[in-house]
Amino acid sequence: MSTSVSSKNKNLVTHSLENNQGIKIQVLNLGGIISAIKTPNRNGELEDIALGFENPEQYLSEHPYFGAIIGRFGNRLANGQFILEDCEYQLASNNGFNHLHGGLKGFDKVLWEVESFEEKNATGLKLSYLSKDGEEGYPGNLWVTVIYTLTDDNILKVKYQAKTDKTTILNLTQHSYFNLSGDFSKQILDHNLWLNADRFLPVNTHQIPTGVYQNVADSPFDFRTSKTIGRDIEVENLQLEIGKGYDHCWVVNNEEKTLVKAAEVYHPHSGRVLEVYTDQPGIQLYTGNFLDNSLPSKSGGTYGPQSGFCLETQHFPDAPNQPHFPSTILKPNEFFSSETWFKFSTKKQ
């Protein structure tokens, strides 16, 4: 079942998805923002597990990409520069020296066209946007479609599709912050995390990958056996110092480049489980290290450091400047398609 409601600002529309298991998801036409994900705990109590705001109009002000679609290029580009077909492009530097998440007005800040649809055992929203040639400095008209599908077996499927009329770069992701406790006054350090990754990408002091694929063995970055997010987050480690915690891209074990399980998070107290499946080569774990109590929380109070985590499936940061990384180039005769699933469930104690 899907519904839509306009806010006081007539341009802002909230669309709601609900399945037959009682899961409820709210999506804004602004930035394709997932503003709420209400799932039951092991006792059947429904709570919101996605950081964000109660009032849709608050998303018009600056915020750390709560729940948004990220593009045209997600994550960081060193010095806001890249070369494509012998032409050098200079984008906005909106993160120190870096270009971050599409620039000053990325896909998170634009209005998307939204159509609702119903399928057997599923309900969904089709979001469409035309990013015009030169927007935020990127080449080519880019037609983007993002499809959110909520199934009756409690999977939120996110399908990305794009085509261009001029060679460009593309790195799309979804930037939801999760707190499976349903209590945003609590940190996420007690969540158990498993990552399907033998390697991660260390970064320099500007948070740009050094280009090295580093083995996670014997490091705080080894989540191949499930452990709490907080277990090693304060270990003396240069990489953790740079990001004030985890803010790194892991290389997903996926030689076949098919849809694989990349991550699983379990919150013992609530019993909630989040599984992430993707066909993308990377997954960025961000533990909300820069949340600074400046933004109001849905549950009262403010969002403090590490009150939410992100698992952003994507290509690697700075890929256009590092040729040995998987390519993020999209050409006019190509069609980009990728899929990520977020599966919600509970475990008994």
The residue range of the domain holding 339 is 2-346
Q: Would you state the pLDDT for residue 106?
A: 98
3-state class (DSSP) for residue 237: coil
Q: Would you state the pLDDT for residue 6?
A: 65
Q: Which residues are within 8 A (CB) of 289 and not within 5 positions of it... i.e. 6 or more apart?
A: 243, 244, 245, 246, 247, 305, 306
Length of the chain: 349
Q: Would you state the pLDDT for residue 7?
A: 65
Q: Which residues are within 8 A (CB) of 171 and not within 5 positions of it... i.e. 6 or more apart?
A: 71, 72, 73, 74, 75, 314, 315, 319, 328
Q: Would you state the pLDDT for residue 27?
A: 98
Q: Which residues are within 8 A (CB) of 285 and not within 5 positions of it... i.e. 6 or more apart?
A: 193, 195, 246, 247, 248, 250, 263, 309, 310, 311
242 sits in which H/E element = helix 238-243
Q: Which residues is 264 bridged to in the sheet?
A: 194, 275
Tell me if the bond preceding 72 is cis, omega within 30° of 0. yes
Cα distance between residue 144 and residue 146, in whole Å: 7
Segment-wise mean pLDDT, segments of 10 residues, the chain, 349 residues: 67 96 97 98 97 96 97 98 97 97 98 97 98 98 98 98 98 98 97 98 98 98 98 98 97 94 98 98 98 94 97 98 98 98 94
Distances (CA, A) of 325 to 209, 227, 303, 318: 10, 28, 34, 9
DSSP 8-state secondary structure symbol assigned to residue 252? -
CA nearest 142: which of 119, 116, 171? 171
Q: Which residues is 83 bridged to in the sheet?
A: 88
- 203, 163 contact by CB (below 8 A): no
Identity at 18, one-letter amino acid code: E
Q: Which residues are within 8 A (CB) of 22 and not within 5 positions of it... i.e. 6 or more apart?
A: 40, 46
CA nearest 149: which of 12, 340, 308? 340
User: Which residues are annotated as catalytic?
Assistant: 175, 312
Domain count, the chain: 1
Strands 192-195 and 76-77: unpaired
Give the pair of three-digit tokens for residue 330. Answer: 């999209």
Q: Which residues are within 8 A (CB) of 124 and not within 5 positions of it... i.e. 6 or more apart?
A: 2, 17, 116, 117, 118, 147, 148, 149, 150, 157
Q: Would you state the pLDDT for residue 2?
A: 64
Here the CATH number for the domain that contains residue 233 is 2.70.98.10
